[in-house]
């Protein structure tokens, strides 16, 4: 059975989804400044991604994204890694339909058409967050502030995915040479604390 939506209803739904994901202003909206203030308040609690293992990697974890002065603070813990560095990037789609390879998450999120680069580079893929480092127990703890990713606007990572790779990002073109995807999670709005 196929459900057909009226074109006007479909357009309204797409506009609402676009506004939610990108933080863009709907056309002809009254009180848009107030709406943006409410949206900023909603996002003040940040975002969260629960990492799922790709294939049988056994890699899992949780990453939080909280807006702070100068960017977005990225914190979390990833377990089940081999000791050493692992590429850590925001990818363009929040699509986990292929957990056999993680390829449904698409490529690195790149809002501005830049080449791959280090997190400190002025021009890089928006989602280039470099590496995380696992200790001898296979645990990586993350606590960094990134100045390029955001939770609204052009560089919004909401609805996209965070990917952990099998190997280190060596910052070669086009995507760092970090190897297979071993964990992936959708970045969504975090629940407000009680």
Taking the C-alpha atoms of residue 20 and residue 57, their distance in angstroms, rounded to an integer, is 33
Q: Phi first, then psi: give them for residue 174, nearest 5 degrees.
A: -95, -15
Task: State yes or no: is 125 an active-site residue.
Answer: yes
Say which of 110, 128, 146, 169 is annotated catalytic: 128
Query: Which of 125, 129, 156 has the alpha carbon at shortest distance from 43?
Result: 156
Say which of 64, 85, 86, 108 is annotated catalytic: 108
- Residue 68: exposure state from Cβ atoms within 10 A (0-12, 13-18, ≥19): exposed
Strand 47-53 relative to strand 181-189: parallel, antiparallel, unpaired?
antiparallel
Residue-by-residue DSSP string for 127-143 = TEEEEEEE-TTS-EEEE
Task: State yes or no: is 165 an active-site residue.
Answer: yes
**How does DSSP classify residue 112?**
S
Two structure tokens written together for 78: 């990833």
Q: What DSSP element (H or E) covers 41?
A: helix 32-43
Confirm if 60 and 182 have CB atoms less than 8 A apart.
Answer: no
Task: State yes or no: is 89 an active-site residue.
Answer: yes
Task: State yes or no: is 181 an active-site residue.
Answer: yes
Say which of 64, 86, 116, 152 is annotated catalytic: 116
Residues taking part in catalysis: 89, 91, 108, 116, 125, 128, 165, 181
């Amino acid at each position: 059975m196929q459900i057909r939506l009226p074109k006007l209803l479909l357009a309204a739904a797409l506009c609402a989804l676009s506004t939610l994901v990108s933080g863009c202003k709907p056309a002809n909206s009254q009180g848009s400044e107030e709406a943006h203030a409410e949206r900023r308040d909603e996002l003040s609690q940040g975002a969260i991604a629960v990492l799922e293992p790709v294939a049988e990697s056994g890699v899992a974890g949780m990453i939080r994204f909280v807006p702070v002065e100068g960017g977005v603070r990225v914190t979390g813990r990833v377990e089940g890694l081999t000791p050493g560095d692992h590429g850590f990037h925001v990818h363009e789609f929040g699509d986990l339909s292929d957990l056999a390879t993680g390829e449904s998450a698409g490529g690195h999120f790149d809002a501005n058409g830049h080449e791959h680069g280090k997190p400190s580079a002025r021009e890089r893929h928006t989602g280039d967050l470099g590496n995380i480092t696992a200790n001898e127990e296979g645990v990586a703890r993350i606590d960094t502030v990134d100045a390029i990713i955001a939770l609204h606007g052009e560089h919004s990572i909401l609805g996209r995915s965070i990917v952990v790779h099998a190997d280190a990002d060596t910052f070669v073109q086009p995507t760092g040479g970090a190897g297979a995807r071993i964990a992936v999670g959708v970045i969504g709005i975090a629940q407000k604390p009680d």
